[in-house]
Chains A and B, each alone.
Chain A
Amino acid sequence: MDQENTNKIQFEKNDDSVVVIIGSGAGGGTLANELAQQGIKVVLLEAGDWHTQTDFIADEWPSFTQLAWLDPRTTSGTWRVAKDFPTLPAWICKTVGGTTVHWAGASLRIQPHELQTRTVYGDIPGANLLDWPITRADLDPFYDLAEKKMGVTRTNGIPGLPGNNNFKVLYNGATKLGYKEVSTGRMAINSEPRDGRTHCYQRGFCFQGCRTGAKWSTLYTEIPKALATGKCEVRAKAQVVRIEHDAQGKAAAVLYFDGEGNLQRQRARVVALAANSIESPRLLLLSASAMFPDGLANGSGQVGQNYMRHLTASVYATFPNRVDMFKGTTMAGIVGDEARLDPKRGFVGGYHMETISLGLPFYAAFLNPGAWGRAFTNALDQYANTAGMWIVGEDMPRETNRVTLNDTTKDQFGLAVPNVHYDDHPNDVAMRDHAFAQGAAVYQAAGAKDVYLVPPYPSTHNLGTCRMSDKPRDGVCNKFGQTHDVKNLFISDGSQFTTGAAENPTLTIVTLAIRQSRFIAEQMKQGTI
């Protein structure tokens, strides 16, 4: 552990004046710092281990084993992930810093109309669309703060990152095709030294943890800053299994297993849940009681429903010459033209194309899971000459796409594991087909030999399972992430998203956490929570 990364304070377990935050990723890590900066006492509980940048491993599978969430999970539904990765529905982290350790850094604001999908898209059969209870005008001041905090390129006068080879291929193909919004994008990766962190050295291991610290992660930004206030204590290897409430129905404490496997109870004035969109609803469901028989804060029945994961798909293409896509930032460029709303394409919502690169081990594992034979080995033979892009598009929320408790499979604590059910909506299928065709056209315009249309990886963007709603009956929390049913219980991660939008979610998760911190501080001052 770094010198700066050590606790300066320890709170008593029976101290009921602290805010307990569950999960230290984009939402939880940011909220911890924002509250601590305002002088509020915070206990940050994180299930994973506390790593440093020197621990990171420049080797895909060992790094995955080191940092990913590997507790047992199950899947169902017609999505291909259930077939290819039946026990690994999501690719997220279990470590201090959460999935911001693995993330690629793409940081885009949600478009105004995407916050009003029910109004703008209309009633799409089979989709549970709802307008967010907030607008871009509500979010913009906080987006400003988030971009400044994260050092997002192409905002605040920060230059864009230099494009790598993978970007050159994308750029040439996309502009030949007539796309206009093509650049190295808005990335929370330092293009020049900033905020005590160096610039990007183009390692290409963004998905394995950024050793240089150029990429923003709560692990080495928010969390040390929170610790420095002396108001925040981080407890790693503290896996929460239940949120308890008092006789009035207010959150009162959380139960967690510490690193030695002992059950601990931390009392709390406020509880903020930021365990990512699979564990957050699971914890609410596991916390069912006589007063809340369907799970905590689940009066609407929406806890766990409307699970979204973004459209996702990849297009890889091979060229007569070398690309070496693995050199440099993983997400090195973004095409924005297809993110617009244009139902003439045969679907509502839009998508971005973003470069992606995988090292040889992951490329082999993800190119076409289950495949063998010459078609597969031909693709691998051309690895050095391959360029890649990832499609991130808006998927439709559906009540039936949901996280539930699977009582037949238990985790290491004997608790029901989460089951993740997902069926593609016809709109998702239409959008993916469109994106595959356009992605292929981009690479063909750049001179591709073979194009590979690659199915979704385990979900990296997990959203919507405790969504915000104006009316309590439509969702789990209000526009500040405060649960409708339990006033001092907050949802502070991507589970809050009412709909998914076409943008990578983390900038918005951070934005919402900053906004929520002001609300919590104000409510505490007023004594309403």
Chain B
Amino acid sequence: MLRKTDPSHEPIPLTRRGMLQGSSLLIGVLSAGSALAPFVPSRTWALELSALDEGQARIVMAFIKHLYPHPSLDDAVYALVVKAVDQKAAADKATRLILLEGIGHLNAIGNGNWLGRDVALQEIDVRALEGTPFFSYLRVTSVNTLYNNPLAFKHFGYGGEAGDTGYLYTGFNDLKWLPDPPPSASGPIPKDD
């Protein structure tokens, strides 16, 4: 669980490559002008994989982007879902089998290269799997991970932990495109003693 938005913490699982010889990596670069750029220490991100290999991780990534398509959401956020999926697969054999079966099925459809398939066809493949354990597992993990991290909070405009100290002096009532309610409906702003 990543909770801190403080840029001095590493908000995405960015790891220096040199330290990771021998393990599989999923690597990406934040898109140019990504809104997340100010919040991460480097534009390159890398996810160290434990159970999946890189090709499998890329299929999972593509699949969840079909499930929850946000054209402007950076891959770095989707990679957090891949990370959760990979970690569960490493810890739990049943999950690993569900994933391998699903990925194998997709690759079989795509003659060994599902990622090479036309995107519109991929989408049909995804829909056809609804109700399978593979689909359900990825859907649930996505919905619980994709929107539950500080990078997503930035992207979608949720304040997250920043609200802990309160918005009383930082815009709780700053909406200007509608008239303010009268004092009879809305009470006074408290004065600090």
Contact = CB atoms under 8 A, between A and B. Distances in A.
A211 B172 CA distance: 17
Given A361-B147, A364-B146, A184 B3 contact: no
Given A168-B181, A182-B185, A324 B171 contact: yes
Contact of B174 (A58, A60, A165, A167): A165
B180 interface: yes
Interface in A358-386: 359-361, 363-365, 370, 372-374, 376-377, 380-381, 383-384
B186 A377 contact: no
A204 interface: yes
Given A327-B172, A364-B148, A162 B164 contact: no
B34 to A, nearest CB: 16
A381 B68 CA distance: 11
Contact of B147 (A321, A363, A446): A363
A374 B157 contact: no
Interface stretch (A193-201, A249-257, A482-490, A494-502): A193-201
Interface in B133-149: 139, 142-144, 146-148
A475 B91 CA distance: 51
A85 interface: no
A396 to B, nearest CB: 32
Contacts of A373: 67, 69
Contact of B160 (A319, A323, A359, A376): A359
Most buried by B among A161, A203, A374: A203
A322 B187 contact: no
A276 interface: no
Interface residues of B, number: 45
Contacts of B181: 163, 167-168, 171-172, 182
A191 B67 contact: no
B166 A203 contact: yes
A163 B68 contact: no
Contacts of B3: 59, 62
Contacts, number: 164
Interface in A183-237: 183-184, 191-193, 199-205, 211-212
B163 interface: yes
Given A172-B178, A373-B67, A203 B163 contact: yes
A462 interface: no
A211 B164 contact: yes
Nearest to B184: A183
A326 B188 contact: no
Interface in A477-514: none
Interface in B31-50: none
B128 interface: no
Contacts of A333: 185
A435 B181 CA distance: 23
Contacts of A377: 68-70
Nearest to B189: A162
Interface residues of A, number: 60
B173 to A, nearest CB: 5
Contact of A162 (B142, B143, B163, B173): B173
A465 B148 CA distance: 36
A302 B70 CA distance: 51
A86 interface: no
Contacts of B148: 60-61, 360-361, 364
A374 B123 CA distance: 12
B143 A365 contact: yes
Contact of B156 (A161, A193, A384): A384
Contact of A58 (B143, B144, B161, B186): B161
Contact of A360 (B156, B175, B190): B156
A169 B178 contact: yes
Contacts of B174: 165, 324
B7 interface: no
B132 interface: no
B80 to A, nearest CB: 13
A164 interface: yes
B168 interface: yes
B119 to A, nearest CB: 14
A328 interface: yes
Contacts of A361: 144, 147-148
Most buried by B among A61, A162, A167, A370: A162
Contacts of A327: 159, 163, 167, 171-172
A192 B187 CA distance: 10
A17 B34 CA distance: 68
B178 A322 contact: no
A301 interface: no
Nearest to B68: A377
A153 interface: yes
Most buried by A among B1, B171, B174, B175: B175
A380 B72 CA distance: 12
A376 B157 contact: no
B172 A164 contact: yes
A383 B167 contact: no
A172 B180 CA distance: 8
A384 B147 CA distance: 13
Contacts of B190: 162, 191-193, 199-200
B156 A204 contact: no
A160 interface: yes
Interface of A: 58-62, 153, 159-165, 167-169, 171-172, 182-184, 191-193, 199-205, 211-212, 319-324, 326-328, 333, 359-361, 363-365, 370, 372-374, 376-377, 380-381, 383-384, 446
Given A171-B185, A202-B172, A360-B147, 5 more contacts: A62-B3, A167-B181, A191-B188, A322-B157, A380-B156
Nearest first, the 6 closest Cβ-Cβ pairs linking A and B are A201-B166, A384-B157, A160-B187, A163-B186, A328-B172, A364-B147
13 contacts: A171-B185, A172-B179, A184-B186, A191-B190, A192-B190, A201-B168, A202-B168, A204-B159, A204-B163, A205-B164, A321-B177, A327-B163, A383-B157
